[in-house]
Amino acid sequence: MKNVKRREFLKSGTLLGGSALVFGCGQQQQGEAPAVRTRQTYNWNMVTTWPPHFPVMGEGADKMAEWIDEMSEGRLKISVRGGGELVPALESFDAVSQGAVEMGHGVAYYWAGKIPAAQFFAAVPFGMNAQQMNSWLYSGGGLALWEELYAPFNLVPMPAGNTGMQMGGWFNRKINTADDLKGLKMRIPGLGANVIKKAGGAPVLTAGGEIYTNLERGVIDATEWVGPYHDYLMGFHRIAKYYYYPGWHEPGPVLELIVNKQMWDSLPKDLQMIIRVASDRANIWMLSEFESKNNTYLKKLVTEEKVNLLKFPDVVLSKLKSYADEVLAEMTEQDPQARKVFESFDKFRKDVGGWAEVSEKVYYSFAEIPA
């Protein structure tokens, strides 16, 4: 009930009025020192699609707020709000777009219903890994396309985290052929959901905080989540029999920071740069957290929790790959925005893929993996 009241409060625009007042005070007047040199302070909220202080993703949001506070010497204070605290998890895009909240942290594929092309800035099935996604965004024109895509929604987006390669997910039945996906109720977001649908399954989008209960109660038969470290913390091994790999649907999903455009424009340049630096640091920090802990927790799951760790059979993966190609072809045919973004994505994927063929792909097949 508290949330409902809070939502009404937010919708009433009271908070926006309050923020506008704060910014009003911060406006530079003639003859004054530049805004960057004033002690004008800004008190902002960051809504997230994660439960409060959620490991890694929520922690990353908390850290961004700490880093921004420290770098700005207290001039920009950000209060991080978990999903449901100010607005429901999957309504954070609207809250920031409408200016009820200054910034939000989440993943672009959660907004697929509003902007199908946004999904390319999160994860593409059989697409690019974390390193390649970062290269596309920072050095391959991806970020400019993302900014263009979010501009009509009054939002400035930027990468602010990555989970690295994910796992295929938790299942309560074995997937031996693509036919075993028929009728499967699976929690899976983004373009991967469209692929599961093509395979005859029933994809469901649920925010992180609700998945466990849904799987436990049989509302869903399967769920993907992140990788061994985070999945262990979520406890899925207690309620699902099989843990499949690889995460064909999310090879390097990007987390995003979105900032309301007017609020962004109201900041002095140095505070804008501080936000960018903090979100870049969050991008590295989260990826490092996952990469450093995944194998430790994979071993724990297998040896201590006796999880059945299984690789999707090649026949299943190649079927999923052909469904993914169909999903992308249909999407880009119907939606000019998606076509434009995908053309850039796909060209870049081919370029970095060509390089990977003679670099990492060959290297990994011969590099010794310590036991």
- The binding site for Ca ion (CB under 5 A) comprises 166, 224, 250
Residue 96, classed as helix, strand or coil, is: helix
Cα separations in angstroms, 11 against 3, 80, 95:
12, 19, 9
Report the relative pairing of strands 42-48 and 76-81 from DSSP bridges.
Answer: parallel
CB of 224 to Ca ion, least distance (A): 5
Cα separations in angstroms, 42 against 18, 97, 109, 253, 324:
12, 19, 30, 31, 44
Provide CB contacts within 8 A for 43, sequence distance 6+.
22, 77, 79
Closer residue to Ca ion (CB): 85 or 250 = 250
Closer residue to Ca ion (CB): 153 or 170 = 170
Closer residue to Ca ion (CB): 240 or 271 = 240
Closer residue to Ca ion (CB): 45 or 166 = 166
CB of 225 to Ca ion, least distance (A): 5
The one-letter amino acid code at 134 reads N
Kindly state the DSSP code that residue 27 receives in the 8-state scheme. Answer: -
2-11 and 14-26 are packed helices; what angle lies between their axes, rounded to 10 degrees? 50
Cα separations in angstroms, 319 against 63, 224, 243:
40, 18, 19
CB of 316 to Ca ion, least distance (A): 18
CB of 166 to Ca ion, least distance (A): 5
* Backbone φ/ψ region at 186: left (φ over 0), alpha (ψ -120 to 50), beta: beta
Closer residue to Ca ion (CB): 132 or 166 = 166
CB count within 10 Å of CB 268 equals 20
CB of 270 to Ca ion, least distance (A): 35
Closer residue to Ca ion (CB): 72 or 162 = 162
Closer residue to Ca ion (CB): 91 or 250 = 250
Closer residue to Ca ion (CB): 91 or 224 = 224
Closer residue to Ca ion (CB): 252 or 268 = 252
The one-letter amino acid code at 269 reads K
Closest CA to 230 of 258, 209, 214, 216: 209
CB of 231 to Ca ion, least distance (A): 10
- Virtual torsion, Cα 104, 107, 112, 116, nearest 10 deg: 100
CB of 15 to Ca ion, least distance (A): 31
Strand blocks (E) in 287-360 = 308-311
CB of 205 to Ca ion, least distance (A): 11
Report the relative pairing of strands 308-311 and 242-245 from DSSP bridges.
Answer: parallel
CB of 186 to Ca ion, least distance (A): 11
